[in-house]
Amino acid sequence: MPARNILVINCGSSSIKFALINEAHSDFVLSGLAERLGSPDAQLHWQRGGEKDSLILPNADHRVALAQVLPLVQSAAGGQLHGIGHRVVHGGEHFTAACRLDALSLSAIRATAPLAPLHNPANLLGIEAAIKLFPNLTQVAVFDTAFHQTLPEHAYRYALPEYLYREHGVRRYGFHGTSHRYVSQRAAELAGLPIGNSSWLVAHLGNGCSTCAIVDGQSRDTSMGLTPLEGLVMGTRSGDVDPNLHSHLARTLGWSLEQIDTLLNKDSGLLGLSGLSNDMRSLEQAREQGHAGATLAIEVFCYRLAKSLAAMSCALPQLDGLIFTGGIGENSPLIRSKTVAHLQLLGLALDEQANVSPVRGASGAIHAPGHPRVLVVPTNEEHQIALDTLELLEA
Ligand code: ADP
């Protein structure tokens, strides 16, 4: 059988990220981004081999953009596309693993939309457009939440009246599951340990950030909750705040729910603390020039991250290693170093020489000799979605 080609689609409300993956190659055959969909500035950018190209698609919606992607995919795949894997943010309690898309699973994804009102409807736009364009292909949904369905009840329940959980699904779900799963498997391979008999802490640090405790290949706790706002300081999200902040702001400043939502999701985190940027690279540069807000944002980010990792360690029988991943985790020696410095009680220490040496895109061990492993492992959610899709093609 020739090596199969899988198209991976990640749809946002106004964007589509896509990657064509051939099972015999680690690099993407084709990848791209359609952005500002629904606006006069809608554009499509793509990359094949070393070549980049783009197209202006005024007012294109998801369907129009995907229709433009179709001939690119067919040409890059030599006419041999075997399946499509879609990233879906929220699978609720219904989805504990990836699933084939059919009328039944589609209606279950629709039913989950109230839990992820910003994300699931956008994911569905891509799915529906792709099914119309490729009606005869197997299409698969891979959920950010599914990996965390192994959390024990004491980790996923909030201390709230039970009916809110039973009748309204108010519980901790966790996100970034595809990334936590992928990097923990890669880390076990790198360490020469069986994933089914090893214990890991993971820090996924991108624009969104979360930690995860993984035992024997299963998620046992994670820092995000009902929504991706809970937990760590992120690019523009506050992470944990006192839940009474809502009523405090409403009472003292007369703010509406929408204003508070915007504050916590869009104006807070690194951006809010620094008053400068949500981008860690920019903050590191500003810190070097003595910017007080950037310096504070980095200190709070690392301390809160370390606190979360220490909390996650409660779920582990032993620690086989801490994994850093995501744009910040993979590329920032400063953040890794400052975070690990708060975790001496877990026995963690870095080899600072090794910490500054992993090159972009490569995995590496950065712990000091005689201390628990600390690994940098680049995440590759598209690759994991393609693997899940391949597995369901065979099922
Ligand atoms: P997303 O969650 O959107 O996929 P990424 O995983 O690409 O985001 O992470 C983006 C973050 O990674 C940004 O804050 C960016 O500044 C940060 N980042 C990327 N490269 C570096 C670097 N060399 N040093 C520090 N931060 C970096």
Tens digits of residue pLDDT in 111-169: 998 888 888 988 998 999 899 988 999 999 999 999 999 999 999 999 999 999 999 99
Under a CB-based contact definition with an 8 Å cutoff, are residues 291 and 299 in contact?
no
Q: Is 140 helix (H, G, I), strand (E, B) or coil?
A: strand
pLDDT exceeds cutoff 90 at 359 = no
Q: How far is the C-alpha of 384 from the C-alpha of 235, rounded, in Å?
A: 24
- Name every residue whose Cβ is closer than 8 Å to that of residue 255 and which is 6 or more positions away in sequence: 249, 263
Residue nearest to atom 19 of ligand 1 (CA): 327
* Across 35-46, average pLDDT: 94
Q: Is 154 helix (H, G, I), strand (E, B) or coil?
A: helix
Q: Quick one: 374 exposed, middle or buried, by C-beta within 10 A (0-12, 13-18, 19+)?
A: buried
**Helices and strands in the chain, H and E counts:** 15, 14
Cβ of 66 below 6 Å from ligand 1: no
**Which pTM value belongs to this model?**
0.95
Q: Could you identify the residue written with the tokens 């980790």? A: 155
Q: How far is the C-alpha of 358 from the C-alpha of 377, rounded, in Å?
A: 10
| pLDDT value of residue 116 | 87
Q: Which amino acid is at 377?
A: V
Q: Using H for helix, E for strand and C for coil, what is the string for 72-136?
A: HHHHHCCCCCCEEEEEECCCCCCCCCCEECCHHHHHHHHHHHHHCCCCHHHHHHHHHHHHHHCCC
| pLDDT value of residue 225 | 97
Q: How far is the C-alpha of 223 from the C-alpha of 231, rounded, in Å?
A: 5
Q: Which amino acid is at 140?
A: V
Residues acting as catalytic residues = 144
Cβ of 15 below 6 Å from ligand 1: no
What spacing in Å lies between the alpha carbon of 18 and ligand 1's midpoint? 19
Cβ of 269 below 6 Å from ligand 1: no
To the nearest whole percent, how much of the chain has pLDDT over 90?
Answer: 90
What spacing in Å lies between the alpha carbon of 279 and ligand 1's midpoint? 7
Tens digits of residue pLDDT in 58-76: 999 998 999 999 899 999 9
What spacing in Å lies between the alpha carbon of 98 and ligand 1's midpoint? 27
* Across 301-307, average pLDDT: 99
Q: How confident is the model at residue 12 (pLDDT cuts 50, 70, 90)?
A: confident
Which pairing describes strands 43-48 and 30-35: parallel, antiparallel, or unpaired? antiparallel
Cβ of 356 below 6 Å from ligand 1: no
Q: How far is the C-alpha of 275 from the C-alpha of 272, rounded, in Å?
A: 5
Tens digits of residue pLDDT in 365-378: 999 999 999 999 99
Q: How far is the C-alpha of 258 from the C-alpha of 176, rounded, in Å?
A: 25
Q: Which of 15, 271, 279, 328 to mutate to test the pocket of ligand 1 (most atoms within 8 A of CB)?
A: 328
Under a CB-based contact definition with an 8 Å cutoff, are residues 41 and 88 in contact?
no
Long-range residue pairs from 13-20, CB within 8 A, at least 24 positions apart, any chain:
13/118, 13/121, 13/122, 13/125, 14/38, 14/39, 16/62, 16/65, 16/66, 16/69, 16/126, 18/69, 18/73, 19/382, 19/386, 20/73, 20/76, 20/77, 20/81
Q: Which of 144, 182, 274, 280 to mutate to test the pocket of ligand 1 (most atoms within 8 A of CB)?
A: 280
- Name every residue whose Cβ is closer than 8 Å to that of residue 336 and which is 6 or more positions away in sequence: 324, 329, 350, 355, 366, 374, 376
